[in-house]
Amino acid sequence: MNLAAASRALLAGNFAIGCGVMVVAGSLNDLVASLQVSVALGGQLITVAAVAMALGAPLMAVWWGNADRRLLLTLALLWLFPWPLLASAEPLLVATIRIGAAEGLSGGECQLGMPLVDLETALSRMTKPVKFAATRRVQTPDQRKHLDAVVGAARLPMVFTLGTTTLTIGEVLALALGDVLVLDQRQGQPAIGRVAGATRVLGRIGRVGPKLAVAVEKTLPVPPAKKDQP
């Protein structure tokens, strides 16, 4: 191996070692949250690592200076090999979130993984009963007027059903141009207008200019809201 190749290999090795040393500082917030200690106490790990490297590097060079480099590399790999396996064996909580998309776009999934040790504090807090003080605010006339104006200007789609019928799957598959479908409703029956699935209007179908129209013949009261079952 020539000098240039050896220099590049040493440069890559030193870069990898530097990344390994600085990973503790980059993950300090997650580390202290997992161990439930203060940031100052967690930061002492960096100090301990710096002292260990400053004192250990020259001592290791003296002790292993005459040893075979390939043997040293093999021993170092054997020492570092089990730790990633132990870390990967830690139980994780994986949450899968399905993401929808508008028509013409494809959705997907997002998976979030978190070690269970990080959830122990949150779970302990979630199991404790929490009481919220009930507060009641008196609505002023101006607030009521503003609320009525906002709600009154909101738009709701109203759907009118001209008629319905029931077909078998075979009849649906055999539909062709010119077929006539007989509806369940009789001629002259009012069209049903629904808002949010609730029947609100009965009317007669007509026309205003080139557009269809409905003459309202009867309005139905708003159905009462359903109460949640205990």
pLDDT of residue 140: 83
pLDDT of residue 230: 46
- The tokens for 214 are 């409905």
pLDDT of residue 124: 63
For residue 184, give every residue at least 6 positions away whose Cβ sits within 8 Å of its Cβ, in sequence order, or none. Answer: 163, 164, 165, 166
Crossing angle (nearest 10°) for helices 3-26 and 28-35: 50
pTM over cut 0.85: no
pLDDT in tens, 59-71: 888 887 788 878 8
What is the mean pLDDT, run by run of 10 residues, along the chain of 230 residues? 77 79 77 78 81 84 81 81 73 73 64 68 61 65 84 81 85 88 80 82 84 85 61
